[in-house]
Chain A
């Protein structure tokens, strides 16, 4: 099974993108099963909302209010690409100052690996999600991404999280 980064999803619906064909072909295969997280859901929604004039939808959907249009586009991508949305992983309890606070487990995992991976927060959170999903819900073999910052840390990520990262063009 493979965790699919948002850039691969966006590329698969952008015919002018250099990764269009490889992203499309990866997503059209039945195997490996494609897993995404709640973060992917939020990030894809944010991307589609940001690129509003560049998103083309057919007439009946185009007439809908913007919020519904974007929500429908996200769900369409999830269904069309055969994505499985992993469940919420759980919470961790942390002590900060005088308070004991339950936080999403992905956040504590991301924080605990930050010093090794030294990535931006959202990159780190995607990896933390994938690592926890792999441990608790779906055993993942791959983290498929076009993000160069992540790909540059392939060996550190494998060592810290046990995840093999791969560019969609290099998939077997």
Chain B
């Protein structure tokens, strides 16, 4: 485990201390580590770069075509409600 000295301004420190006082974290150290851990996990996205495909679809739309059509057997409300764990009432 490494040590990284970090400068924080008074307002940030006050907010961290408040969280420690309220027992959300045991110490400043734990608070900062948890926040950093949460932020770093954001960077691990598995997103796909589909820019070219989307542009191709938008070009077709510009030419007057509907490039994306859903031929659902149920209504949109039923289809989405089904995914929410129930049929619409």
Q: Which residues of A contact B (CB under 8 A)?
A: 5-8, 10-11, 13-19, 23, 43, 46-47, 50-51, 54-58, 60-61, 64, 67-69, 71-73, 75-77, 79-80, 88, 91, 93, 95, 100, 102, 120-123, 146-149, 152
| Chain B 21-60 per-residue mask, 1 if CB under 8 angstroms from chain A, else 0 | 0011100000000100010001000011010011011101
- Asked if B69 is an interface residue, CB under 8 A from chain A, the answer is yes
Selected from A60, A77, A148, the residue in CB contact (under 8 A) with B56 is A60
Given contact pairs A91-B38, A95-B23, enumerate 13 new A-B contacts (beta carbons under 8 Å).
A7-B77, A8-B76, A10-B76, A46-B83, A71-B47, A73-B57, A79-B58, A80-B61, A100-B24, A102-B38, A122-B84, A147-B80, A152-B89
| Nearest residue, chain B, Cβ from A100 | B24
- Asked if B5 is an interface residue, CB under 8 A from chain A, the answer is no
Q: Given A93-B19, A100-B23: A50 and B83 within 8 A (CB)?
A: yes
Cβ contact within 8 Å between A7 and B38: no
Cβ contact within 8 Å between A120 and B85: yes
Q: Which residues of B contact A58 (CB under 8 A)?
A: 56-57, 60, 65, 67
| Nearest residue, chain A, Cβ from B22 | A93
Q: Given A14-B76, A79-B54, A122-B84: A56 and B68 within 8 A (CB)?
A: yes
Interface residues of B in 60-89 (CB under 8 A from A): 60-61, 65-73, 75-77, 79-81, 83-86, 88-89
Minimum Cβ distance to chain B for residue A92 (Å): 10
Selected from B34, B57, B68, B80, the residue in CB contact (under 8 A) with A55 is B68
Selected from A71, A73, A102, the residue in CB contact (under 8 A) with B68 is A73
Q: Given A76-B54, A102-B34, A120-B85: A11 and B71 within 8 A (CB)?
A: no
The complex places the Cα of A18 from the Cα of B77 at a distance, in Å, of 10
Minimum Cβ distance to chain A for residue B20 (Å): 11
Cβ contact within 8 Å between B70 and A51: yes
Cβ contact within 8 Å between A7 and B81: yes
Selected from B25, B71, B81, the residue in CB contact (under 8 A) with A147 is B81
